[in-house]
C-alpha cells in the first residue's frame, strides 16, 4: 500500500499523553525542536489532536497557567485519515498542516504522514531526475484532447509523466504538463511542438529540466 510506505509509524513518532501539562508539553517540543506533536489518550492508541509550540508560547505570554492539561490547547482533533485513504483525501486533509495523523483499521493511532514525505513522493512521481523537458500544452478540454496530445507525443518519445491542471468545472482552457524522458533531443522537442501546434494545441511554455 503506497500510503503505508510513507507513514512514520507510532514507534517513530514523538507523542504526548492527554494527561500531560502544558509545561511538560513545552519541554518536549523544545527538546525535540518540533513545532507540534500528536496528543494521544492514556492507552497511547486514540488520537486526540495536536499541540503546537506557538499556542503554548502565546498562552504563557498572556499569563496562562502552565499546569493545565495539554488538551486545553488541543487543535486539529478531526485532522486524521484512515490507512487506506484515497490520495485526494490525503492531499486536501494535509494541505495546511505539517503532518496528518493516520489511523489503522480499528481507528487506533498508526502514525503520521508528514507534508515533507508527501511532497517528496510527488516530486519523485514528477520524474524530474529522469526527465528532459516539461511541456505545458493548452487545450480546450474537449473530450479526446488528452488522448490526441498523448498520441502525438508518443509518436516521438515515451511520456515520463503527465498532470492536468485547471480542471474546475466551467474552465475554458485546460493546461496539461507532459514530462519528456531523459535523452530527448532539441530536434525531437521541436518536432513534437510543431506537431502539437499543427493540431491546434498551444505550447506556451517549455521547461528544460537539465538546466535546473
In this predicted structure, what is the pLDDT of residue 125? 61
- Burial group, residue 147, by CB count within 10 angstroms (0-12, 13-18, 19+): exposed
In this predicted structure, what is the pLDDT of residue 198? 96
> For 120-155, how does the pLDDT look when each residue is reduced to its tens digit (9 = 90+)?
777 666 666 678 899 999 998 788 999 999 999 999
Give mean pLDDT in consecutive 10-residue pieces for the chain, a chain of 212 residues.
Answer: 78 96 97 96 96 97 97 95 85 87 96 86 66 90 92 96 70 84 94 96 90 64
* Side-chain half-sphere CA neighbours of 118 within 13 A: 19
Domains and CATH numbers, the chain: 2-121 (3.10.580.10), 128-211 (3.30.70.260)
User: 79 is written with which cell numbers?
Assistant: 485532522
d(CA 125, CA 131): 11
- Burial group, residue 50, by CB count within 10 angstroms (0-12, 13-18, 19+): buried
Amino acid at each position: 500500500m503506497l500510503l503505508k510506505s510513507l507513514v512514520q509509524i507510532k514507534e517513530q513518532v514523538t507523542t504526548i499523553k492527554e494527561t500531560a501539562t502544558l509545561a511538560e508539553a513545552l519541554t518536549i517540543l523544545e527538546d525535540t525542536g518540533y513545532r507540534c506533536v500528536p496528543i494521544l489518550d492514556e492507552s497511547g492508541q486514540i488520537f486526540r489532536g495536536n499541540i503546537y509550540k506557538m499556542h503554548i508560547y502565546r498562552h504563557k505570554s498572556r499569563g496562562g497557567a502552565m499546569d493545565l492539561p495539554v488538551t486545553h490547547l488541543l487543535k486539529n482533533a478531526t485532522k486524521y485519515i484512515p490507512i487506506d485513504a484515497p490520495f485526494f483525501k490525503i492531499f486536501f486533509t494535509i494541505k495546511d498542516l505539517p503532518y496528518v495523523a493516520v489511523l489503522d483499521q480499528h481507528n487506533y493511532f498508526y502514525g503520521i504522514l508528514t507534508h515533507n514525505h508527501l511532497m517528496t513522493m510527488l516530486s519523485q512521481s514528477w520524474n524530474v531526475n529522469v526527465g528532459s523537458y516539461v511541456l505545458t500544452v493548452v487545450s480546450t478540454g474537449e473530450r479526446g484532447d488528452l488522448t490526441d496530445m498523448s498520441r502525438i507525443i508518443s509518436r516521438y518519445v515515451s511520456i515520463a509523466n503527465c498532470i492536468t491542471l485547471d480542471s474546475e468545472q466551467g474552465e475554458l482552457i485546460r493546461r496539461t504538463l507532459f514530462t519528456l524522458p531523459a535523452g530527448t533531443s532539441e530536434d525531437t522537442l521541436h518536432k513534437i511542438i510543431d506537431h502539437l501546434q499543427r493540431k491546434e494545441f498551444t505550447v506556451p511554455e517549455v521547461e528544460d529540466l537539465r538546466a535546473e
